[in-house]
Amino acid sequence: MLIVMNHSATQEDINAVTAVIDAMGYIAAPIPGRERTAIGVLGNQGYVDDSKILELPGVQQVIHVSKPYKLVSRDFHPENTIVDVAGVRVGQGCRPVVVAGPCAVESEEQIVKTALFVKKAGADMLRGGAFKPRTGPHTFQGMREEGLKLLSLAGRESGLPIVTEVMSPDNVGLVAEYADLLQVGARNMQNFDLLRELGRIRKPVLLKRGMSATLEEFLAAAEYILAEGNEQVILCERGIRTYETATRNTLDLAVAPLIKEMSHLPIMVDPSHATGKRSLVPPMTLAALMAGAHGVLVEVHPEPEKALSDGPQSLTFQGFDALMTDVRRLTAFLGY
């Protein structure tokens, strides 16, 4: 940690700061400059709560050198983590995976039909929402447990592992009974009770980046899960909120290679939610794989125009089939 003093800070101010640092059990190393003095803090292990110092007279700024996460950081865990989802391996060195399915489970026919199709087309896992977070209360909220049962049935019939969202801590047990990979949605990235609960189970977790989460907050959220003992976490970039409204969100694809530098956890990309526009899903799926993502989540629906949610961004069977042809060519080109 580095403490930057005001240009006008007095020697007394500086002494007061070093005294507090000593009291915290660290060592203070003043760095006098021409314009102002900075004070280095030595001997801290990990992140230090800076509120005590920001308080003091003459302090302009406190700069953190350590980060609010450590378990997810590559600094302290150089080897890549490979997440095993019911036999499908996700991570560096593994063939990139494709998770496909509808936004929401709507009926047995819809989900089973989709499962069999995406399996045939080459998907590695089946996705489908049973619990749906919706902006307004007057829209379809998901089939809940009934949806989990249908998803699980579709998983068995197709032989695909299933991925579905869990929205609250008290549902973790229930969802874990059915799902092979439990998804935390963007709106819940900082639902800390939920993260802790997921840290205590023995199933892998897919953590989506919050709509306006910084990379640091994203990794710190994953830290909640690892801190409870569950290291089987896959990160997922799904677009962030910006001033731009031409797409549903702004796909921050550069974080895929960046996360691979900063963390040992696998990173996937969801081009469907990121763009919100069917025609943009294929090019951004291929771009994500080219950028080094360990997998993608793609929405597919037998009849998008009848979908109860997210129809406009769902691929048709035909569209998904065409995309998978390109995905196979690309993964071969990439050496898988």
Q: Which is nearer to a copy of itself, 150 or 256 (CB)?
A: 256
**CA-CA distance, 272 to 200, in Å (whole number)?**
30
Q: Which is nearer to a copy of itself, 107 or 156 (CB)?
A: 107
Among 10, 19, 120, 290, binds a copy of itself (CB under 8 A): 290
Among 19, 173, 177, 254, binds a copy of itself (CB under 8 A): 254
Kindly state whether residue 243 participates in binding a copy of itself, applying the rule CB under 8 A.
yes
Residues numbered 97-156 forming contacts with a copy of itself, rule: CB under 8 A:
133-141
Residue entry with tokens 């025609």: 279
Span of 91-99, 152-160, 174-182, 246-254 interacting with a copy of itself by CB under 8 A: 246-254
E-strand spans in 255-294? 267-269
Query: What is the DSSP code string of 291-323?
Result: TT-SEEEEEB-SSGGG-SS-GGGPBPHHHHHHH
Residue 32: strand pairing partners = 37
- Whole-number minimum distance, CB 27 to a copy of itself, in Å? 9
In the DSSP assignment, the letter for residue 234 is E
Kindly state whether residue 69 participates in binding a copy of itself, applying the rule CB under 8 A.
yes
Q: Which is nearer to a copy of itself, 121 or 213 (CB)?
A: 213
- Whole-number minimum distance, CB 159 to a copy of itself, in Å? 30
Residue 259 · residue 288 · CB < 8 Å: no
Residue entry with tokens 């840290």: 199
- Whole-number minimum distance, CB 311 to a copy of itself, in Å? 3
Kindly state whether residue 261 participates in binding a copy of itself, applying the rule CB under 8 A.
yes
Residues numbered 145-204 forming contacts with a copy of itself, rule: CB under 8 A:
167-170, 187-188, 190-194, 196
Maximal C-alpha separation, the chain: 76
Residue 13 CB contacts under 8 Å (≥ 6 apart), including other chains: 5, 6, 56, 57, 58, 59
Among 214, 229, 325, 336, binds a copy of itself (CB under 8 A): 214
Sequence-distant contacts of 257-260: CB under 8 A, at least 24 apart: 257/291, 257/292, 258/215, 259/215, 259/219, 259/235, 260/92, 260/292
Q: Which is nearer to a copy of itself, 188 or 232 (CB)?
A: 188
Kindly state whether residue 231 participates in binding a copy of itself, applying the rule CB under 8 A.
no
Among 8, 79, 202, 335, binds a copy of itself (CB under 8 A): 8
C-alpha pair distances (Å), 41 with each of 13, 26, 27, 59, 274: 16, 7, 6, 14, 41
Among 165, 309, 317, 324, binds a copy of itself (CB under 8 A): 309
**CA-CA distance, 292 to 296, in Å (whole number)?**
11
Residues numbered 23-62 forming contacts with a copy of itself, rule: CB under 8 A:
29, 31-36, 38, 40-47, 49-52, 54-56, 61
Q: Which is nearer to a copy of itself, 16 or 160 (CB)?
A: 16
Tokens, residue 211: 């709509």
Among 178, 224, 317, 320, binds a copy of itself (CB under 8 A): 224
Taking alpha carbons only, the member of 105, 110, 185 closest to residue 151 is 105
Residue 90 · residue 82 · CB < 8 Å: yes
- Whole-number minimum distance, CB 324 to a copy of itself, in Å? 16
Kindly state whether residue 19 participates in binding a copy of itself, applying the rule CB under 8 A.
no
Span of 87-95, 112-120, 122-130, 270-278 interacting with a copy of itself by CB under 8 A: 270-278
Q: Which is nearer to a copy of itself, 35 or 79 (CB)?
A: 35
Amino acid at site 138: H
